[in-house]
């Protein structure tokens, strides 16, 4: 089974150039069985995704910004966290989360959605979560050789969501390769399931410069 679970679209504002129709067309060309949309801190693309015509199984998600004062001195600092709806309850909680993160941001004088622990604990049922890209908390911790923090975050995410996955990403950056080795070892050591992902913001190499 070929599943693409980490895809950004034009609804990841100023950070994705995939239109949903073009993404689904390309996914069909390469034989994709399952595809997810996980735009940054919003679910605005879900309606277009739902209305699009395809035989590919759709997964609805988003990539949130986990923020906690004990980890982050500045609200511009955060941990990326991927969320996917497992079922209807998870879908409802995902949409509620996408609203509540902006309520938190507004109270803190910030424009970008802030996912705090209270929301994760209240809205995590029916949701799978993933460690996201190099901006994820566990990735950041391991890159800084802070396994204690990585374990702390792993325990938190396991408590909040139905299941938590370590995402193994591929790209041409040497630091990603080094991180992947640490992530695999960490996942095996702590019996965390892994998924292979590509952090997709564009469809072809020709579009890389546009991104």
- Flag residues of the chain having pLDDT under 50: none
- Give the pLDDT score at 200: 79
Q: What residues pair up with 197 in beta bridges, in sequence order?
A: 169
* Predicted pLDDT at 191: 98
Tell me if residue 147 falls in helix, strand or coil: helix
* b/e burial code for range 183-195 (CB count within 10 A of at least 16 → b): beebbeeeebebb
CA distance 137 to 115: 13
Cβ(45)–Cβ(38) below 8 Å: no
- pLDDT for 15 equals 72
Distance of CA 155 to the CA centre of its chain: 18
Confidence (pLDDT) at 120: 98
Backbone phi and psi for residue 185, each to the nearest 5 degrees, phi listed first: -65, -40
Rounded to two decimals, what is the model's pTM? 0.94
Q: Which tokens hold the place of 141? A: 């911790």
């Amino acid at each position: 089974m070929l599943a693409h679970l980490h895809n950004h679209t034009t609804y990841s504002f100023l950070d994705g150039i995939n239109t949903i129709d073009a993404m689904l067309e390309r996914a069909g060309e390469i034989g994709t069985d399952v595809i997810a949309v996980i735009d940054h801190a919003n679910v605005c693309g879900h309606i277009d995704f739902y209305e699009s015509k395809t035989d590919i199984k759709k997964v609805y998600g988003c990539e949130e910004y986990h923020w906690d004062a004990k980890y982050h001195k500045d609200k511009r600092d955060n941990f990326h966290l991927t969320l996917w709806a497992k079922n209807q309850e998870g879908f409802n909680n995902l949409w509620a989360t996408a609203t509540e993160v902006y309520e938190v941001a507004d109270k803190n004088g910030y424009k970008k959605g802030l996912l705090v622990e209270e929301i994760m604990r209240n809205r995590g049922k029916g949701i799978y979560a993933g460690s996201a890209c190099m901006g994820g908390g566990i990735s950041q911790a391991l890159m800084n050789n802070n396994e204690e923090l990585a374990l702390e975050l792993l325990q938190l995410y396991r408590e909040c969501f139905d299941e938590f996955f370590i995402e193994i990403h591929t790209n041409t950056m040497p630091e990603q390769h080094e991180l992947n080795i640490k992530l695999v070892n960490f996942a095996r050591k702590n019996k965390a399931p892994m998924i292979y992902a590509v952090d997709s913001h564009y469809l072809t190499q020709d579009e890389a410069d546009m991104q």
